[in-house]
Structure 1
Amino acid sequence: MGFISLMKKYNTTFWASNTIELFERWAWYGFYLAFALYLVNSKDTGALGLTQAQKGVIMGTGSMLLYFLPVITGAIADKVGYKKILFLSFTLYVSGFYMIKSFDTFGWMFFAFVWTCVGGAFFKPIISAMVARTTTDETSSIGFGIFYMMINIGGFIGPFIAGILMQKTWDYVFYMSIMAIGVNYLITLFFFREPVIKEGDSSLLDNILQAFVNIFTTLKNWKYVLFLIIMILFWTAFNQLYYSFPVFIDQWVDTSVVYNGIHSFWPWLAESIGTSEGTITAVTMSSMDSFYIIIFQLMVSAFVMRFRPLAAMMGGILVLAGGLGLMFSNQSGWLILLGVLIFALGEMASSPKFTEYVGRIAPPDKKALYMGTSFLPIAAGHQLAGWLSGGVYEKIADKIYLLQEEVTSRGISLPEISEEVTKNDYVEMASEKLGLQGTELTNFLWNNYHPANIWMIYAGVAVGAVVFLWLYDRFVIGKN
């Protein structure tokens, strides 16, 4: 009865805001987890055939803006009104998804993704603010728990469906995202109520300028700045789930073993989520991160609540590093799924504690300012993750790049990848010249070029974050 009476204290706008969040995450992650593959896979599959470096620039820059711009867009929303900004965000999203579906060159795709991320930046500050505004001290804890649950439900459903749709045509993935945002137009129109915001004398420009003044004020705390810089390493390692992991699975891992394992005890499920070739797509494998969070978040939160936030973060990031090691060091689909589970457990322990720690160290009159600047290391982490998953990943673990190296080392003359020669064409020609087909070629490159070494860089970045956090805790915080 207590729980039911508590649920009745949440108003219609609270539930509307959370439902909007679910569909927005559905739309965003539905395409985002597949986006790296869409950018780099061969053109004859309907993808763009770009290089890993070009992928890194597009994803890193756009995602960086997605997390940096809310500093400005939040100030705009407070002045213009939440409902108007939501409709603007949805319009940018829908047009952005359509442009991503339609454009096929690096320059135009860069523009389309940045455009879409600006839409996300307008959306991002609003719903969390609405959850805060529609809850009280009594209802906020469960309220934000519901909010994070909605994020992960949307973050699982979107990629899960995208993994099925992309087998037919890439266009369906983007149409799915457009339709999910379309639902949000209706929810916002009929159920979302504009919050009452005290009118000030300041102009829109004054609000934006004040946002930057607030950042500068907050960043005068050198200890806080040092903490944010260290956390850039965590977000850099974490973001490889989106930037590199789907590509690594697609290029190196035979997921038919997972498909067959599932098929042996639940044929319907395997056939529903698998491909016609009897494999599991990289996007579906990646979506298991959100699935694990939906199942285990409450248990992990209950376990880590007994630890100090910094200690929980260090432990969580160390676990996450172990997950990254398993995810990128082998070709076993089952071991990789175990790696995703370990990664998710580390994420569940560390990511919420990051927000909690910022809230704890912020002076009472500056909590909102500190929470705003906590997005800055996430933004920088996306930019750095883009660089690592671009040129660095390409030279160590990109299958096409390594195949080109092998062809060149043998003095074999082949036409370069171009508008006329797709990546798949090149692989077919190289396979014929090398006398290695399919799995034979993959295993040859795996054993001779060791692309699994990329795990040491990604896990190493995460371990670096743990080491610096320990030093920070010992020598900076310890001196208080």
Structure 2
Amino acid sequence: MFARLKGFSRAFWTANIVELLERGAYYGVFIVITLYLSRILGFTDVEAGLISGVFSGGLYLLPTFTGALADKIGFKYSLLIAFTLLSIGYFGLAVIPTVLESNGLVDYSNEIIKFTGLLESPQQWAIVPIMIIIMIGGSFIKSVITGTVAKETTKATRAQGFSIFYMMVNIGAFSGKTIVKPLRMAMGDMGLVYINYFSAGLTALALIMIIFFYKSAKDEGQGKTISEIWTALIKVCTNGRLLALILIITGFWMVQHQLYATMPKYVLRMAGEGASPSWYANVNPLVVVLTVTFVTRIMASKTPLISMTVGMFIMPLSALAMASGNLLSGGDIDLGFMSMHPIALMMVAGIALQALAESFISPRYLEFFSLQAPKGEEGLYLGFSHLHSFLSSIIGFGLSGWLLSKYCPDPRLFDSHESWAIASSNAHYIWYFFAVIALTSAISLIIYGKVINRLDAKVKHI
């Protein structure tokens, strides 16, 4: 095993290690980003949802364009730019509360944060350019790291190379989310601030590694122009078959994104401050890693559309499981090795079902998407295969903010716990909305499959 691992270049290992560091930094911050925006900066649920949604959406839309730029200036320079921006951005998230407090707009000195003018001040929105910096930096990572893995492997080692890359992504995601709970337990809401120092440290370490250890075989001056990328985007958006597929899959990802948009606030408000949303979120990558190979194997003889459809019908069950926690009466449920609040337990069950659905859908989606692209242009079109995540981020996070404010509002907005309990008595309705979205997408995918099969059949008879 170790002999095989030695067959990879220094650039390959450097790229994978910095990917682990970047994912740890990103997920440590992103799992609590809506909490940070609301609790530390005072944004409403709707405002926090919109800001987070645009941020997440940009991370999926920009890589195709920044990837084209990376091809022009070279991968090393691109990674230097990326990790410099990320380090500045995460550090900015960490220090902006101090700046606001020094300006007399907020008081973080007590256990309960007191806003003393921040909610009326335009300085509250200074967070937006900082998040744009992180968004641009992160967009380089997605294209350059995968590009490095492809360039630094051979046909014989490519499968193993991407397997290592996928493992690094999940280790980073798991470790970043895991550290959030201890920080919150030790520091309360200020832990949401200090997690950004942790992330800035990880990306700064990655920057140092790129400076001293990264030397890629990828030369600058290659790749597509920005004009060619725009032309491809227009072609995808005017291809009815591809556009319909993107819109249908958007429904799946709208529900999936609630892992970050709705879940953290929902469980803390409904299950109490002792809940661990960052740890619950780790169930997703854990179940994906444990099931994706098995699911792919058992569905190998089925078409991509059948596998995707199975996953799509699991998603409504996921949302219903999340809703059911609020319907269970009594105290914590004894699991033998630990006790969990009913809402937390059913949230974990729902997240596990989401992950299982992802195992059916994600590996086959790219395959199916490429089959719908015109012959000879699969690579160009696949650059926009994640447009669904751009749409689902903006719509899903925005919808989350509205649903939270309507059915599961912030307890700090109420004079008493009793009045809040009345206002949040139907909090589980949030998940009914997403169950309907998921079911609509699943049914739409069946209709889509029948339509394209008829169209293809007509073409064959011409």
TM bucket by the smaller chain? Answer: 0.7 to 0.9
Residue pair 2:59, 2:138 contacting (<8 A) in 1 also? yes
Give the corresponding residue for 1:30: 28
Deviation of the 1:252 alpha carbon: 0.5
Matched, 1:320 2:303: no
Give the corresponding residue for 2:432: 456
Unaligned runs of 5+ in 2: 98-122, 327-341, 457-462
Q: 2:174 aligns with which of 139, 156, 162?
A: 156
Matched, 1:53 2:46: yes
Matched, 1:90 2:54: no
Give the corresponding residue for 1:342: 353
| CA 463–141 in structure 1, closer or farther in 2 if over 3 Å, else same | farther
Deviation of the 1:212 alpha carbon: 0.8
Give the corresponding residue for 1:146: 164
Q: 2:17 aligns with which of 12, 19, 28?
A: 19
Q: Distance in 1 between matches of 2:9 and 2:316?
A: 41
Residue pair 1:329, 1:455 contacting (<8 A) in 2 also? no
Q: Distance in 2 between matches of 1:395 and 1:450?
A: 9
Q: 1:177 aligns with which of 183, 189, 199?
A: 199
Tell me the alpha carbon deviations over residues 298-339 of structure 1, each in whole angstroms, 9 at most, x when there is no partner.
333333333321111111122133122212432412222222
Q: Distance in 2 between matches of 1:342 and 1:145?
A: 23
Q: Distance in 2 between matches of 1:48 and 1:479?
A: 52
Residue pair 1:293, 1:345 contacting (<8 A) in 2 also? yes
Amino acid at match of 1:281: S
SS at match of 1:79: helix
Residue pair 2:60, 2:139 contacting (<8 A) in 1 also? yes
Q: Distance in 1 between matches of 2:301 and 2:6?
A: 30
Deviation of the 1:239 alpha carbon: 0.7
Tell me the alpha carbon deviations over residues 241-290 of structure 1, each in whole angstroms, 9 at most, x when there is no partner.
110011111111248xxxxxxxxxxxxxxxxxxxxxxx342222222222
* CA RMSD across the alignment: 2.3
SS at match of 1:103: helix
Deviation of the 1:199 alpha carbon: 4.0
Give the corresponding residue for 1:476: 452
Residue pair 2:75, 2:218 contacting (<8 A) in 1 also? no
Amino acid at match of 1:90: F
Give the corresponding residue for 1:465: 441
| CA 315–106 in structure 1, closer or farther in 2 if over 3 Å, else same | farther
Give the corresponding residue for 2:264: 246
Q: Distance in 1 between matches of 2:384 and 2:322?
A: 31
Matches within 5 A, 1:411-450: 423=412, 426-427=413-414, 429-431=415-417, 436=418, 444-446=422-424, 449-450=425-426
Residue pair 2:50, 2:401 contacting (<8 A) in 1 also? yes
Give the corresponding residue for 2:393: 382
Give the corresponding residue for 1:44: none
Residue pair 2:251, 2:441 contacting (<8 A) in 1 also? yes
For structure 1, which segment, 451-460 or 246-255, has the greater mean C-alpha deviation from structure 2 after superposition? 246-255
- The runs of at least 4 consecutive aligned structure 1 residues that moved more than 4 Å come to 3-6, 441-446
Q: Distance in 2 between matches of 1:186 and 1:345?
A: 37
Deviation of the 1:95 alpha carbon: 1.2
Deviation of the 1:98 alpha carbon: 1.8
Give the corresponding residue for 2:117: none
Tell me the alpha carbon deviations over residues 17-56 of structure 1, each in whole angstroms, 9 at most, x when there is no partner.
2212111110000110011111223xxxxx2232111111
Q: Distance in 2 between matches of 1:162 and 1:294?
A: 22
Matched, 1:302 2:288: no
Amino acid at match of 1:232: T
SS at match of 1:351: helix
Unaligned runs of 5+ in 1: 42-46, 256-278, 401-422
Q: Distance in 2 between matches of 1:477 and 1:215?
A: 25
Q: 1:63 aligns with which of 49, 56, 70?
A: 56
Amino acid at match of 1:398: P
Structure 1 length-normalised TM: 0.80
> Structure 1 vs Structure 2: percent identity of aligned residues?
26
Deviation of the 1:107 alpha carbon: 1.4
Q: Distance in 2 between matches of 1:299 and 1:462?
A: 24
Q: 1:186 aligns with which of 208, 227, 232?
A: 208
SS at match of 1:373: coil
Matched, 1:365 2:358: no
Deviation of the 1:4 alpha carbon: 5.5
Give the corresponding residue for 1:405: none
Structure 2 length-normalised TM: 0.83
Q: Distance in 1 between matches of 2:299 and 2:20?
A: 26
Residue pair 2:269, 2:408 contacting (<8 A) in 1 also? no
Deviation of the 1:292 alpha carbon: 2.6
SS at match of 2:216: coil
Give the corresponding residue for 2:71: 78
| CA 474–158 in structure 1, closer or farther in 2 if over 3 Å, else same | same
Q: Distance in 1 between matches of 2:296 and 2:204?
A: 34
| CA 217–335 in structure 1, closer or farther in 2 if over 3 Å, else same | closer
| CA 361–292 in structure 1, closer or farther in 2 if over 3 Å, else same | same
SS at match of 2:377: helix
Aligned residues: 411
Residue pair 1:58, 1:109 contacting (<8 A) in 2 also? no
Give the corresponding residue for 1:258: none
Give the corresponding residue for 1:413: none
